[in-house]
Amino acid sequence: MNADEWLRVFAAELHQRRVAVDAARHVVAEAATHLREGGGDPWLVFGSPQAYAATIVESIGTAPAPRPGPVRLDARGITKRYGRRTVLRDAALTVRAGQIAAVVGANGCGKSTFLRICAGLISPDAGEVTVSGRLGYCPQQGGTADFLLPDEHFVLVGAGQGLTREPARQAGRAAARQLGWEADRDVPARHLSGGTRQKLNLTMSTLAAPDVLLLDEPYQGFDQGSYVNLWDQLVRLRDEGRAIVVVTHLLNQLDRVDVVLDLTSSAK
């Protein structure tokens, strides 16, 4: 395990132990500086990432675990068939304010279909979804306009919420910065890399400050740093009281979520 990998595992450990996001970022930066300037194997300098994270938690404490709030999304008895094939059978999910839910399962088990039903984009054959508050949705791909600039996407989405141009632009750029992306360059969406385009996609879904955020594998094309930024952002939004549902097949992040819905058994 090299220094970068050690730092990544260390950062994940701090998050898992609910160290406040800003404090964790500060501690990781300090450790990185120490390793860069002093050199040496991080295992010899700090020990295992788990043990060092435990020491840090003892020293600075953890952020109080936010209490889950009222129910924001309640999906019950969701059944969906495509022809003779039943993709979802009686699927259910309840997510409260201040919770992250992960929807997992094998390829083709209906994860994206479930999310699109929750967003009201397609109808189920049976079941109901109740949403409390404003809904945001980030599709797995698409959902952006090839020839528009990032700022123009922010203005377009912001106008839907009654935002005027400048506040919409500022809100979009601020949300993009949380993902480690400076969105102030005049580059059409079609010239953005796959990962940056996905950041634009994600930024559009968080721009309107939704109470319920539905994300369909939002990390497509992300590098390691962007992936960490994404989860930092999700944890921050959760701590602000948002209810978040993430479709994922990366099981290594399940320790950072509060609710898991496994749809594998739902598919027939």
Partner 1 sequence: MNRLVTVAEMTLRELTRRRGVLLLLLLMPLVFWMIRRDSYVGQSIRALFLGISWAVSTAALFAASGARELEPRLRLAGYRPHQLYLGRMLGLWVLGLAVAVPFFLLTVIDANNLRYAGIALAMLCCVAVAAPFGMLIGALLPRELEGTLLLLTVVAMQMLLDPASPGAKLTPFWSSREIATWAVDHTDAGYLSRGLLHAAVVTVLLIVTVAGVFGVRLRRRRHLHHAPLT
Positions touching partner 1 (CB under 8 A) are: 70, 117, 119-124, 127-133, 135-137, 139, 142-148, 152, 155-157, 159-162, 164, 188, 204-205, 207-208, 211
Give me the amino acid identity at 180: G
Q: Which is nearer to partner 1, 137 or 222 (CB)?
A: 137
CB of 58 to partner 1, least distance (A): 38
How far from each other are the two terminal CA atoms of the chain, in whole angstroms?
A: 41
Q: Which is nearer to partner 1, 7 or 93 (CB)?
A: 93
Q: Which is nearer to partner 1, 47 or 160 (CB)?
A: 160
> Which one, 109 or 118, has the nearer CB to partner 1?
118
- Residue whose CB is less far from partner 1, 7 or 91: 91
- The residue type at 253: Q
SS (H, E, C) 232-265: HHHHHHHHCCCEEEEECCCHHHHHHCCEEEECHH
Q: Measure the CA–CA gap between 14 and 10, rounded to whole angstroms.
A: 6
b/e string for 96-133 if b means 16 or more Cβ within 10 A? Answer: bbbbbbbbbbeeebbbbbbbbbbbeeeebeebebebbb
Which one, 7 or 157, has the nearer CB to partner 1? 157
Side chain identity at residue 99, one-letter code: Q
At closest approach, how far in Å is the CB of 50 from partner 1?
Answer: 39
Could you give the CA distance from residue 207 to residue 136 in angstroms, rounded to a whole number? 9
* Cα atoms in the Cβ-side hemisphere of radius 13 Å centred on 55: 9
CB of 82 to partner 1, least distance (A): 16
CB of 190 to partner 1, least distance (A): 10
């699109």: which residue's tokens?
Answer: 116
Q: How far is the CB of 98 from partner 1 (least distance, A)?
A: 13
- Tell me the closest approach of the beta carbon of residue 47 to partner 1, in angstroms: 46
